[in-house]
Chain A
Amino acid sequence: MEECLNIASSIEALSTLDSVTLMYPFFYRPMFEIVEDGWRSFMPDQEFELLSSVTDEWRLSCINKEFSVCPSYPPVVIVPKSIDDEALRKVAMFRHGSRFPVLSYYHKKNGMVMMRSSQPLTGTNGRRCKEDEKLINATLRPGKRGYIIDTRSLNVAQQARAKGGGFEQEAHYPQWRRIHKCIERFNILQESLIKLVEACNDQSHNMDRWLSKLEASNWLTHIKEILTAACLAAQCIDREGASVLVHGTEGTDSTLQVTSLAQIILDPRCRTICGFESLVVREWLQAGHPFQQRCAQSAYSNSKQKWEAPVFLLFLDCVWQILRQFPCSFEFNEQFLIMLFEHAYASQFGTFLGNNESERSKLKLPQKTMSLWSWVNRSEELSKFQNPLFEANSLVIWPSVAPQSLQLWEGVFLRWNRPSKFLDEAQEEMISIIKYNKELQAKVNALRRQLAEMETDDRMQENL
Chain B
Amino acid sequence: MEHIRTTKVEQVKLLDRFSTSNKSLTGTLYLTATHLLFIDSSQRETWILHHHIAAVEKLPLTTSGCPLVIQCKNFRIVHFVVPRERDCHDIYNSLLQLSRTAKYEELYAFSYNPKQNESEQVKGWQLIDLAEEYKRMGVPNANWQLSDANRDYKICETYPRELYVPRTASKPIIVGSSKFRSKGRFPVLSYYHKNKEAAICRCSQPLSGFSARCLEDEHMLQAISKANPSNRYMYVMDTRPKLNAMANRAAGKGYENEDNYSNIRFQFVGIENIHVMRSSLQKLLEVSGTKGLSVNDFLSGLENSGWLRHIKAVLDAAVFLVKAIAVESASVLVHCSDGWDRTSQVCSLGALLLDSYYRTIKGFMVLIEKDWISFGHKFSDRCGQLDGDPKEISPVFTQFLECVWNLTEQFPQAFEYNEAFLLQIHEHVHSCQFGNFLGNCQKEREELKLKEKTYSLWPFLLEEQKKYQNPLYNPDFFPGLSLLEPNTVSFNFKFWRNMYHQFDRSMHPRQSVFNLIMTMSEQNKQLEEEIKELEAKIKRRSGQSAAVLVKEHQQPAHPAPTALKTPPCFKKEQPLIPVNDAVRTIEGSNTADNRYSEFVEEFSKSEPAVVSLEYGVARMTC
Q: Chain A residues in contact with chain B, CB under 8 A? A: 145, 177-181, 200, 203-212, 214-215, 218, 220-221, 223-224, 228, 231-232, 235, 239-240, 324-329, 389, 391, 393, 395-408, 410, 414, 417-419, 422-423, 425-426, 429-430, 433-434, 436-437, 440-458
Nearest CB of A to B346, in Å: 17
Smallest CB–CB gap between B512 and chain A, Å? Answer: 8
In the assembled complex, which residues on chain A have CB atoms less than 8 Å from the CB atom of B613?
A: 177
Q: Is there contact, CB below 8 Å, between B491 and A436?
A: no
Question: Nearest chain B CB to A141's CB is how many angstroms away?
Answer: 13
Q: A205-B490, A212-B300 are in contact. List 13 more A-B contacts (CB 8 A).
A: A329-B586, A398-B595, A400-B506, A403-B299, A404-B495, A423-B412, A430-B472, A443-B527, A445-B576, A447-B535, A450-B562, A452-B567, A454-B541
B618 touches A (CB below 8 Å): yes
Measured CB to CB, the closest approach of chain A to B545, in angstroms, equals: 7
Chain A residue nearest to B544 (CB atoms) is A458
Q: Which residue of A lies closest to B288 (CB)?
A: A404
Tell whether, in the assembled complex, residue A437 and residue B520 are in contact, meaning their CB atoms are under 8 Å apart. yes
Contact A397–B586 (Cβ < 8 Å): yes
Determine whether the beta carbon of A326 is less than 8 Å from that of B299: no
Chain A residues whose C-beta falls within 8 Å of the C-beta of B295 in the assembled complex: 215, 218, 220-221, 223-224, 403, 406
- By a CB distance below 8 angstroms, the chain A residues around B616 are 240
Q: Once the chains bind, are A203 and B489 in contact (CB under 8 Å)?
A: yes
Interface contact A443-B570, CB-CB below 8 Å: no
With A422-B413, A444-B531, A449-B562: A206-B589 Cβ-Cβ less than 8 Å:
no
Q: With A231-B602, A447-B531 as given contacts, are A207 and B309 in contact (CB-CB < 8 Å)?
A: yes
Q: Does B294 contact A (CB under 8 A)?
A: yes
* Cβ B312 vs Cβ A440 within 8 A: no
Contact residues, B400-414 vs A (CB, 8 A): 410-414
Bound-state Cα–Cα, A208 to B301, Å: 11
**In chain A, what residue has the closest Cβ to B593?**
A398
**Contact, CB under 8 Å: B489 / A325:** no
CB neighbours (8 Å) of A441 from chain B are 527, 576
Residues of A within 8 A of B556 (CB): 443, 446-447, 450
Q: How far, in angstroms, from A239 to B596 measured CA to CA in the complex?
A: 7
User: A205, B489: Cβ atoms under 8 Å?
Assistant: yes
Give the complex CA separation of A441 and B490 in angstroms.
43
Q: Check if A452 sits within 8 Å of B570, measured CB to CB.
A: yes
Interface string of B537-570 (1 = CB under 8 A from A): 1100110010001001100111100110111011
Chain B: CB-nearest residue to A447: B534
Q: B620 near A: Cβ within 8 Å?
A: yes
- State in angstroms the CA–CA spacing of A247 and B589 once bound together: 28
**Are the CB atoms of B531 and A443 closer together than 8 Å?**
yes
* CB nearest neighbor in B for A212: B303
The residue on A at minimum CB distance from B501 is: A404
Q: A398-B595, A433-B521 are in contact. Are A449 and B566 (CB under 8 A)?
A: yes
Chain B contacts of A419 at CB under 8 A?
487
Residues of B within 8 A of A423 (CB): 412
**Can you list 12 A-B pairs, Cβ within 8 angstroms, ordered by A?**
A205-B312, A207-B309, A209-B490, A215-B303, A235-B596, A235-B599, A440-B528, A441-B576, A443-B556, A447-B535, A450-B556, A451-B537
Query: Lowest 4 CB-CB distances: which A-B pairs, in order?
Result: A210-B490, A426-B412, A403-B298, A215-B299
Q: Please, how many angstroms separate the alpha-carbon atoms of A85 and B595 in the complex?
A: 42
Query: Considering the chains assembled together, what is the distance between the CA atoms of A429 and B511 in angstroms?
Result: 19
Q: From the candidates B477, B491, B521, B527, name the one contacting A408 in the complex (CB within 8 A).
A: B491
* A223–B299 alpha-carbon span in the complex (Å): 14
Q: Are A325 and B602 in contact (CB under 8 A)?
A: no
User: Which residues of B does A touch, CB under 8 Å?
Assistant: 18, 288, 293-300, 302-303, 306, 308-309, 312, 316, 410-414, 471-472, 474, 477, 487-495, 497, 501, 506-513, 516-517, 520-521, 523-524, 527-528, 530-531, 534-535, 537-538, 541-542, 545, 549, 552-553, 556-559, 562-563, 565-567, 569-570, 572-573, 576, 584, 586, 588-590, 595-596, 599-600, 602-603, 607, 613, 615-616, 618, 620-622
B492 engages A418 (CB within 8 Å): yes
Pick the residue among A177, A405, A434, A456 that contacts B622 (CB under 8 A).
A177
> For B293, what are the chain A residues with a Cβ–Cβ distance below 8 Å?
402-404
User: A214–B492 Cα gap in the complex (Å)?
Assistant: 13
Which residues in A have their C-beta under 8 angstroms from that of B558?
A: 446
Chain A residues, CB < 8 A from B535: 447
**B490 A398 Cβ-Cβ under 8 A:** no
A425 close to B413 (CB less than 8 A): yes
Say how far A333's CB is from chain B's closest CB, in angstroms: 11
Contact A240 B534 (CB under 8 A): no
B309, B599, B618: the one contacting A398 at CB < 8 Å is B599
A211 adjacent to B296 (CB under 8 Å): no
Assess the A239–B524 pair: CB atoms within 8 A.
no
Q: How far is the CB of B237 from chain A (nearest CB, A)?
A: 18
Is A206 touching B490 in the complex (CB atoms < 8 A)? yes
Which residue of A has the minimal Cβ distance to B477? A425
**Selected contact of A451 from candidates B298, B302, B538, B586, CB within 8 Å:** B538
CB atoms of A218 and B296 under 8 A apart:
yes
Q: How far is the CB of B313 from chain A (nearest CB, A)?
A: 9
Residues of B within 8 A of A218 (CB): 295-296
CB–CB A422/B622 < 8 A: no
Instruction: Give the complex CA separation of A214 and B410 in angstroms.
Output: 21
Indicate which residue in A180, A212, A422, A451 contacts B410 across the interface (CB closer than 8 Å).
A422
